[in-house]
Amino acid sequence: MQRIVIFLSVLFALQLPAKADEGMWLPFMISEELYEEMARMGLNLTPEEVFSFTEPGIKDAVVSFGGFCTAEIISDRGLLLTNHHCGYGRIQNHSSVDNDLLTNGFWAMSTEEELPNEGLFVRFLVSVEEVTLKILEAVTPEMTEQERILAIRERSRELSDAATEGTHYTATVSSMFAGNFFYLFTYETFNDVRLAGAPPSSIGAFGGDTDNWEWPRHTGDFALFRVYTAPDGSPAAYDPENIPLRPRYHLPISLRGVGENDFAMILGYAGRTERYLTSFGIDYRLEYMYPVRIDIRRRKLDILERAMAESDTLRIQYASKHAGIANYWKNFIGMSESLRRLEVARTKRELEDRFGSWVAADPVRQERFGEVLEDFRGVYEGLHDFRSHPYVFAETMLTGPDAISLARFYNTIYTMLEEDEDEEAIAREARRLREIAERSFRGFDREVDRELWAAMFATYHEYVPEEDLPDVFARIQAEFDGDFERYAEAVYETSIFANPDAMMEFLESPTSAVLSEDLAMSAVQSVFEASARLNERIAEHNRKLQRAERLFLKGLLEMDPFVPYYPDANRTMRFTYGSVNGYQPRDAVTYHYHTTLSGVMEKEDPNHHEFVVPEKLRQLYEEGDFGEYAHNERMVVNFITSNDITGGNSGSPVINDDGHLIGVAFDANWEGMSGDILFEHELQRAINVDIRYVLFIIDRFAGASHLIDEMTIVR
């Protein structure tokens, strides 16, 4: 493996954490001081047992699940544990009205019954190399910010290609500290991942949107998958002849349970934090981002919820899309409330004032960093001119009607047809589009999508200033008197993107005339071309922002060389350590560190789909039939820890002082919702499924004890 070179300045930055619970640390940078702090809190492992490139260890059991969640290997046969909500879309894909796995759950009683999932992958981290000097060799002081970006991108590609040449690995260069440091991450990817087990949504998603981001929770948010390889152990596409993965390491599972102040460590592919966002950025988001995204997502949810209530077919079709929209709809509400309640911008201004004083005290610093804070101010003042356009566009068009998403794929073939490309090339593109269309139309309902189209175009028109509106809106006014319902009806009556049969007929013999006359295609071209023009103007502000962020971080590291600055999360592996603790969200209120099955029964409401309790679960509860998984005759469901996590950590293993699995992280608490921007030590908590509840559901509820038999259980 390639050796890791660590800059001395970064080592200084990673010396001693101010608070044990803060920090999404790079696990290959476990400094001696950091390790001593964890050992003081109870960790019984060596750093090499946590993370090593030469010996099997915990990091070898932790994978990126689909690029959006985390999962962990829990058996020597490639059994994989993650969250129910991470596997939700796959469970939906296997569901139908006649075989509703979302409602009923699924348990493969043998490997032959496990269900393949097209497009799903898991990714293991193989090696890391620090490449800052190699990257910055391509950069010169005379470069503009855009030239710098392009040079770094090209050098990153060269390094990634060189690292993986002649192998089946993939590699990517990740920026740390806003472009001040760079690391080359090499991965091994497996593409045959099969569903092995999932509880019904009444367990796996108990509490639904009502309890989402809240504590106390009572959710069995877990699902089981299995990784398969070719017979020789190498990664391979799905094949019935593939065999279960033989992993380098799998996590032992503890039945010891958790107690208050117990050590807890979480490893996972943390998504994105912005701990160094300035007060200017916070103010901008509170005015232009959160209100818009909350409003538009609520409009989409209203449409989907009305449709889903009408039939089981629509409920299943739109379950995953609804869950994805709802998750961050509530997150945005919580973020904006927390940022205001905790006065996060004020805290950021205090740091900025200190930074400004430090810069002003030295002429050399003034030369290097003197314009940074004013650059931030100027960038956000410039972005005010575009109001909320990036977020309006993202919510209404990029993630709006399915017909828009589908039509975007047809720009290439449209150009090929217009330019009379050779027929063989057009035929290849048509075959590719046919596969996309088949996937897209599986979850498509014409009436639901038509309603979304009307609502999203009306919303775009409402939010975007008239001078920035695409040409299509003039057409809507001229031909449909500005009536978005009439316009949407015309689109869905005539467009090939709203009719599977018409789409397949077009792909049999594609012509540019069909696309040029298609209302959906012309709308998509108009909207995206107008957005591209706006983005060209916004891009200059974003480049200035990127430069200001890089210099701000560089200055902070110099100003406070012994303060525990750590790089923002960016979907690379991170570890965080803390302890099992309750908290006090407000005056005279104290939350305990765990919940039990009794709380599930207290919340039960047969008339509310989010709080239905399966009859068998109720029976097991009433009989006290918890097997060996109970704690003092009580079945613990969830527990909270002070670990610092974010999106992407969903499914991450919660590991005790001996390196054994004690839970699965799945959520964060409402009071700590501003945590992606500022960690709140007294309030922020990770919400986890107790591993004993997972085993209890697998064993006593599902009768799938064969899955437990292949695990390593520590009693």
* DSSP codes of every residue in 633-658: TB-EEEEEE-----TT-TTPEEE-TT
pLDDT in tens, 592-601: 999 999 999 9
Average pLDDT, the chain: 94
pLDDT at 86 over 70: yes
pLDDT at 7 over 70: no
Q: What is the mean pLDDT of residues 381-402?
A: 95
Binned at pLDDT 50, 70 and 90, residue 20 comes out as low
pLDDT at 222 over 80: yes
Out of 85, 322, 594, 660, which one is annotated catalytic?
85
Helix/strand/coil for 465: coil
Q: What is the mean pLDDT of residues 53-82?
A: 97
Structure tokens at 78: 């490639």
pLDDT in tens, 641-678: 999 999 999 999 999 999 999 999 999 999 999 999 99
- Helix, strand, coil shares of the chain, percent, nearest 5, are 50, 15, 35
Residue 9: the pLDDT is 38
Q: Using CA atoms, how far apart are residues 464 and 473, in angstroms rounded to an integer?
A: 11
Q: Any idea which residue has 């502000």 for tokens?
A: 541
Comparing CA positions, the residue from 314, 71, 320 lying closest to residue 194 is: 71
Helix/strand/coil for 59: helix
pLDDT in tens, 549-560: 999 999 999 999
Alpha-carbon separation of residue 115 from 91, 194, 319, 352, 355 (angstroms): 9, 5, 19, 53, 55
pLDDT at 392 over 90: yes
Q: Any idea which residue has 């006014």 for tokens?
A: 477
Residue 31: the pLDDT is 81
H or E segment and range at residue 106: strand 106-107
Nearest 5°: the CA angle 68, 74, 75 is 130
Q: What is the DSSP string of 379-441?
A: HHHHHHTTTTHHHHHIIIIITS-HHHHHHGGGHHHHHHHHTT--HHHHHHHHHHHHHHHHHHH
Residue 15: the pLDDT is 43
Instruction: DSSP letter for 699, please.
Output: I
Residue 242: the pLDDT is 98
Range in 27-41, 90-104, 471-485 the model is least confident about: 27-41
Nearest 5°: the CA angle 41, 46, 50 is 95
- Residues contacting 371, CB < 8 A, separation 6+: none
Binned at pLDDT 50, 70 and 90, residue 275 comes out as very high
Q: Is 168 one of the annotated active-site residues of the chain? A: no
Residue 13: the pLDDT is 40
Q: Is 445 one of the annotated active-site residues of the chain? A: no
Q: Is 384 one of the annotated active-site residues of the chain? A: no
Binned at pLDDT 50, 70 and 90, residue 19 comes out as low
- The number of helices, as runs of H, and strands, as runs of E, in the chain is 30, 22
pLDDT at 450 over 70: yes
Per the DSSP assignment, residues forming a β-bridge with 227 are 193
- Residues contacting 53, CB < 8 A, separation 6+: 1, 28, 126, 127, 128
Q: How far apart are the first and last CA of the chain?
A: 36
pLDDT at 439 over 60: yes
- Residues contacting 376, CB < 8 A, separation 6+: 278, 280, 281, 545, 548, 552
Has this prediction a pTM greater than 0.75?
yes
Q: Using CA atoms, how far apart are residues 230 and 236, in angstroms rounded to an integer?
A: 5
pLDDT at 404 over 50: yes
pLDDT in tens, 475-494: 999 999 999 999 999 999 99
Q: What is the mean pLDDT of residues 126-132?
A: 96
Binned at pLDDT 50, 70 and 90, residue 33 comes out as confident
Out of 100, 192, 211, 221, which one is annotated catalytic?
221
Q: Using CA atoms, how far apart are residues 683 and 583, in angstroms rounded to an integer?
A: 6
Q: Any idea which residue has 């018409």 for tokens?
A: 502
Strands (E), 122-180: 122-130, 170-176
Instruction: DSSP letter for 75, please.
Output: B
Q: What domains can be seen in the chain, in order of their start residue?
A: 1-121+191-272+566-715 (2.40.10.120), 279-553 (no CATH)
pLDDT at 239 over 80: yes
Residue 600: the pLDDT is 98
Q: How large a percentage of the chain has pLDDT more than 70?
A: 97
pLDDT in tens, 520-563: 999 999 999 999 999 999 999 999 999 999 999 999 999 998 88
Nearest 5°: the CA angle 101, 106, 110 is 145
CB-CB neighbours of 166 under 10 Å: 5
Dihedral (CA of 68, 73, 79, 85) sign: negative
pLDDT in tens, 341-388: 999 999 999 999 999 999 999 999 999 999 999 999 999 999 999 999
Dihedral (CA of 628, 631, 632, 634) sign: negative
